[in-house]
Structure 1
Amino acid sequence: MEILANDEAQTSPELPGRPGEPRPEHAMPGLTVGEAMEMTTLAGARLLAGAGGLDRIVRRANIMEVPDILPWVKPHELLLTTGYPLRNTPQGLPGLVTDLNARGLAAMGVKLHRYLDSLPEQMIAEADRLDLPLLLLPDAIGFDDILNQVLTGVLHIQASELERSWEIHHALLSVVLEGGGLNELAVKTSAVLGAPVFVTTADGRVLAEGGRADELDAWRTSACFDETGRFRTEYEPGGAHTHPDVPGSHAMVPIVAGRVDHGRIVAFSADRKVGDGDVNVLERAATVAALAVNKQLAVTAVEGKYRGDFLRDVLAGRAGDRDRIVAHCQTLGWDIDRPLVVVVAELDPGHGAAPASGLELRPVQERFTVAWQSVVARRDSRTPVVGFAQEVVALLPVPPSGDVDGLVRDVVRQVSGDGGGGRRAFSTGVSRAVDGPDRLPGAYEQARRAVQVGRQINGTGGVAHFDALRSFRLISLVGDHVELRGFVDETLHELANDGDAEMADLRHTLKVLLDANLNVAEAARTLHFHYNTLRYRISKLERILGPFTTDPELRLDLALALKVLQMRGLR
């Protein structure tokens, strides 16, 4: 029993819009200020300040010849002026630079000698401080020529980007139309971007990947992934971005179909800046990925029902003889003709908050099943893993070392991740090992029993083995909780009081003594008591409980009463 975590998507409100919706302003292509200065109309322009902002993007151009220009300024704009509105108040120019920068202006071009003979030093210094390019324009070039050439250049880039985007979309779409799935799509997208690409579930579990193996491994061990290989979606904003503790940059786009959040597609780059063009490619890939996911869901729904019905018959003992079961499982890609343990995992009670993005998530039980299937398939694709209405059942092969506990805990750890990404807590039960299909029904009941009793003993989020339940199995069969509580009170007397710290301490001493088979020296070492101190405590316990050191029946009653107290839900 481990953590699948909180059932909330925690997706960022900054995620880009779904493909097909109008693209956000920041995603539209354009010229950099440096590229615009290479055009013939601006070839004679001189950069007065703001050299650090030459990579700002220009997507439009405007002329400022009215005093109240600020309300009309748009982000990524090249603003041209003769200084006419401020000819009588040049002292206002430094403040104007600050205000224009706050509105996202790309650059400002100024013509002198008609209304202004020079620009104030404070204005130039402010533009330098803000890295806002300030251009001195040639007198011989008209504003209309600059506007025409800049806007033509921007439109040409946007048209080229649109054409490239369509070509990419067609190439990616052909992957699905030709029968490919997420793996083929990830490989194709990686080839287009020249960068590693991961496709994940909404909570970050990797479904497919594309790129060079060494690059994929390097990113998989970065801080963007937890130690189980889960991409930390809850910490990732949408679009292109960087992290201080992660080299290079990367971009993330959601995979959305209708209003259902199916996952993420992420591209990484260590040697170049991931930008808006890469985000555009990922948006196209996300559209195609949504088609692939819906296609796979439709196929999985049919196959899953067929597989689930057959495994349910096997676990109920009505699937036929051994040879028929083994042969049929082989047609399903399963190998059950080997030593197995039955593992049953159940989501613990509790509901997470609604997804922050407002999108719907696939049903939690369905996501839980997919998590188990993806983790187990990476270890052994021939292992049956099926989701029922309230549980996931896996028939895990016994490892050559015989370490079933280590195997189960490692699988549970990977299904759980680090508890992020909107996952829910779950409890896990493990059966004894069996060596044939005919013994699977009994093992299934053992695993289910282990889940129920283990949750009572340890609470939620743990792993319980049937063999470790021992007498707890018998106690759990007693449905009369009032009778159990009465037995505890009559046997332990004052020690049954959970609210008394002194009685709780004595109860712990009693348990250690019983576990040590009344070996006082060993119990004293375990409790870190002096031998005489423990002898005194034994005398005190016998005054309360009776002569348990000489009465084996009383010792048995005391041990059972302590176990009843240990079982949560029976107190």
Structure 2
Amino acid sequence: MVNVANDRGLRDVELPSAAAAASPAVRELVAGLSLERLLALPSLAGVRVATTAPDVSAGAGAVLTRASLLGAPQASVPPCAGHLVVVPADVLARHEAQGHDVVAALASAGAGALLVTGVPAATADELEATRERAALHGIPLLLLDGGEPDAVVTEVLGALLDQQTAILARVDEAHRILVDVVLAGGGLEDLCERLAGFLGGAAMVTSTDGRVLAEAGSEQALTAAHALDCFDRTGRLVTEREAVGTRPPGTPVSGRALVRIVAGGLGHGLLAAFVQDRSLTADDVHLLERAATVAALAITKEQAVSAVESKYRAEFLRDALAGRAGAPAEALLHAAALGWDIDRPLVVVVAETYEDDEHTTRTSEEVTDLQQRFSRAWSRAMAVRDPRAPVMGFSQEVVALFAVPGDADTDTVMRSVGEVVRVVRGDGGGGRRTFSTGVSRPVESPADLPRAYEEALSAVSVGRQLNGDGSVAHFDQLGIYRLLALVPDSADLRRFVEEALGPLADDDVPEHADLRTTLSILIDTNMNVAETARLLFFHYNTLRYRIAKLERMLGPFTTDPQLRLKLALALKVHQMRGI
């Protein structure tokens, strides 16, 4: 479409466009031409740049998407965002004679540049007031000696149509190439490699919460991308504060763009592009959107294959944890056929969500999607650490078999597990399910996996009772709590605590919590009054007064070892949540 003049000002005329058959999204995203390229057109030969926009050099940075003629002064200026507005010098003079501020009106309407034709160099000074107003409003002002306004508009229109045609052809060709990559068996890495080549930078596919699944580009481009502030210290793309789509040109973030990968109404992740030497334009973003549809095809294809493989893997791991995987030699061979290595020292790790899926307000589809994302997060984190480690999701838990050195102590194992837990939990990562984690003792044979699985389940259950949601507990760290957790009726434990601690069993009085702390440290220090006073920062006599008060409430525990044992157990039970 182009605007031509008549007696009423600007008039729209429908003209053929290469983008006319495309969707509205395509028409909106097709980029225009820079003013610098338009100035090279034959009809603009000899044009003079009288003033430039304050944020561009010599006016060359302005991007124009339309061309229009400014007609007689009887009508107001319509919206003309991105237009090269062409006006003959005599028409401009008629506007000014009637008191119209043409430059201000065009700036308000969003014009990209103003071209005045019929302005010989000798008379250019007569437009000094117009030049000053153009500089004030930030509109590039161009002067042309002679020139046919209609010819200028027609030629600019032709150049823009050629540009649109080239952009659409480029996007279609890129889309065809990307589809061929996937149909030929390529994955997300191949897709990113092609896309990085098209854009001249780096390309990445991430999960919905920013975990990088695939990336490609030169080493320099990838290093520069990961150094940006949009990545956190774990290497996650912080999607919560990253906008999707184009960025304003010239801003620090204009060299990166993100689009969503969607298939079947579900989000499968994000496709991101990063370039260093330019801003990503609207047509680059459109190319990314076309590539995202191809990425969705690749992801759904991988998910279909993975679903079949996961079924057999889940059945085997469930059998192995239940002791039904056959002889150890058979289990090792079966695991190897599934791509797993269990012929080494292992610990069983259980990550259990504590959302009550049976009584949740979420739909069953939402619960399933959350659990699948939770399982995938563990699989990806483990794949980085150990690609041949078994990881599977079951109902509200994920089970992983961690390989550990044969001589690893508990602290070493917990540090290793804790690193993966932190990756899965993420730093504010969106969409993660809250969970607690339990770790078993090391096992040497597949025959011992059922015992290790029970240990991990005990660790996750007792750890949550002791430390609350989000705990990470090792079976060897449970101590006496392992035995207490075996008591099937929590009501019996509550009665035991109430009988042993009496009024200290509740917090109706604020002092009760302090007295329980004093009693616990006294028992832990084997009734060493001086050491307890030091640990509690009490004066010795103050602590003696507290001990006397405790004995009046609980009995002579300082001299009765059986009573001390009873009180110690009651304090341990009191620490357990849910009792």
TM-score, scaled to structure 2: 0.86
Q: 2:475 aligns to what?
A: 466
1:45 to 2:47 alignment: yes
CA contact (8 A) 2:250 2:279 kept: no
Alignment partner of 1:73: what SS?
coil
Listed one character per residue, the Cα deviations across residues 247-306 of structure 1 (whole Å, up to 9, x for unaligned) are: 882111111113111111112123333333432332232121110001011111111111
**Correspondence 1:212-227 to 2 at 5 A:** 212-227=218-233
Deviations 1:215-245 (A, max 9, x none): 4244324321112221111111112438999
CA shift at 1:521, angstroms? 2.4
Q: Which residue of 1 aligns with 2:200?
A: 194
Partner residue of 2:369 out of 341, 363, 385: 363
Distance in 2 separating the partners of 1:32 and 1:242: 16
Partner residue, 2:16: none
Change (3 A) 1:473 1:122: farther
CA drift at 1:310: 0.9
Given the superposition, is the C-alpha separation of residues 242 and 46 from structure 1 closer, same or farther in structure 2, using an over 3 Å criterion? closer
Structure 2 counterpart of 1:169, from 170, 175, 181 = 175
Q: Does 1:239 align with 2:245?
A: yes
Question: Match of 1:385, as an amino acid?
Answer: V
User: Which residue of 1 is the match for residue 404 of structure 2?
Assistant: 398
Corresponding residue to 1:325 among 315, 326, 331: 331
In the alignment, structure 2 segments of 5+ residues that lack a partner are 1-21
Structure 1 residue 350, shift from structure 2 partner: 7.5
Give 2:140's match in structure 1, choosing from 133, 142, 146.
133
1:343 matched to which residue of 2? 349
Output the CA distance in 1 between the equivalents of 2:249 and 2:527.
59
**Which whole-Å CA distance do the structure 2 matches of 1:217 and 1:47 have between them?**
40
Structure 1: how far apart are the matches of 2:263 and 2:300?
8
- Note the C-alpha offset of 1:67: 4.8
Shift of the alpha carbon at 1:479? 4.4
Give the Cα–Cα distance (whole angstroms) in 1 for the partners of residues 352 and 289 of structure 2. Answer: 36
Aligned to 1:550: 559
Q: Which has the larger radius of gyration?
A: 2
Q: CA deviation at 1:454?
A: 1.6
Q: What's 1:293 paired with?
A: 299
- Between the aligned partners of 2:73 and 2:502, the Cα distance in structure 1 is 89
Partner of 2:464 in structure 1?
Answer: 455
| C-alpha distance 526-221 of structure 1, shift in aligned 2 (>3 A) | farther
Rounded Cα–Cα distance in structure 2 between residues aligned with 1:158 and 1:135 = 24
Q: Is the 8 A contact 1:93 1:120 kept in 2?
A: no
1 CA distance for matches of 2:31 and 2:419? Answer: 46
Q: Which runs of 5+ in 1 are unaligned?
A: 1-19
**SS of 1:241's equivalent?**
coil
**CA offsets per residue over residues 55-108 of structure 1, 9 Å max, x none?**
2221111222255766732421122224748836558554x5344334432112
Report the alpha carbon displacement of residue 126 of structure 1 after superposing the two structures with TM: 4.0
What's the offset of the Cα at 1:208?
0.6
User: Do the aligned residues in 1 keep the contact of 2:383 with 2:389 (CA within 8 Å)?
Assistant: yes
Would the aligned equivalents of 1:261 and 1:362 in 2 still touch at CA under 8 Å? no
- The 1:243–1:50 alpha-carbon spacing in structure 2 relative to 1, beyond 3 Å, is closer
Match for residue 379 of structure 1 among 385, 393, 397: 385
* Cα distance in 2 between the residues matched to 1:361 and 1:132: 54
**Which letter does structure 2 place at the counterpart of 1:184?**
D
Q: Is the 8 A contact 1:248 1:273 kept in 2?
A: yes
Please tell me whether the aligned partners of residues 484 and 573 of structure 2 are also in contact (alpha carbons under 8 angstroms).
yes
Matches within 5 A, 1:4-19: none
Tell me the TM-score normalised to structure 1 length: 0.88
TM-aligned CA distance change 1:360 to 1:376, over 3 Å: same
CA apart distance, 1:189: 1.5
Change (3 A) 1:60 1:543: same
Q: Which residue of 2 aligns with 1:13?
A: none
Aligned-residue offset at 1:161: 1.3
Higher mean alpha-carbon deviation, 524-533 vs 45-54, is at 45-54
Question: Corresponding residue for 1:7?
Answer: none
Report what 1:58 is aligned to. Answer: 64
Once residues 543 and 213 of structure 2 are traced to their aligned partners in structure 1, the CA distance between those partners, rounded to angstroms, is 58
Q: Conserved in 2, the CA contact under 8 Å of 1:342 and 1:393? A: yes
Name the CA shift for 1:363/1:490 in 2 (closer, same or farther; >3 Å): same
Q: Does the residue aligned with 2:186 lie in a helix, a strand or coil? A: coil
Q: Residues 33 and 106 of structure 1 are in contact (CA less than 8 Å); yes or no, is this contact kept in structure 2?
A: no
**1:416 match:** 425
- What is the DSSP-based 3-state SS (H/G/I as helix, E as strand, rest coil) of the residue aligned with 2:24? coil
Q: Aligned letter for 1:45?
A: V
Identity fraction in percent: 48
Change (3 A) 1:113 1:76: closer
Paired residues of 2:261 and 2:292 also in contact (CA < 8 A): yes
| Structure 1 residue 498 displacement after superposition | 1.7
Output the CA distance in 1 between the equivalents of 2:366 and 2:48: 53
Kindly indicate whether residue 212 of structure 2 is the aligned counterpart of residue 210 of structure 1. no
Q: Where does residue 517 of structure 1 map in the other structure?
A: 526
Alpha-carbon displacement from aligned partner over 1:376-396 (angstroms, at most 9, x marks no partner): 111111100111121111000
Q: 2:436 pairs with 401, 423, 427, which one?
A: 427
Give the aligned partner of residue 305 of structure 1. Answer: 311
Q: Give the SS at the match of 2:514.
A: helix
3-state DSSP class of the match of 1:87? helix
The 8 Å contact of residues 76 and 104 in structure 1, kept in 2 or not, is answered as yes
| SS, match of residue 363 in structure 1 | helix
> Is the partner of 2:484 in helix, strand or coil?
helix
* Matched residue SS, 1:216: helix
Partner deviation per Cα, 1:143-196 (whole Å, 9 max, x = no partner):
210111001001111111111212211221111111111111112222222212
Decide whether the 8 Å contact of 2:247 with 2:257 is kept in 1.
yes
What do you get for the CA RMSD once the two structures are aligned?
A: 3.0
Aligned length: 544
Of 303-312 and 499-508, deviating more is: 499-508
> Given the superposition, is the C-alpha separation of residues 230 and 68 from structure 1 closer, same or farther in structure 2, using an over 3 Å criterion?
farther
Q: Does 1:484 align with 2:493?
A: yes
CA contact (8 A) 1:36 1:150 kept: yes
| AA of the residue aligned to 1:271 | D
The answer to whether the 8 Å contact 1:203/1:232 transfers is: yes
CA contact (8 A) 2:481 2:572 kept: yes
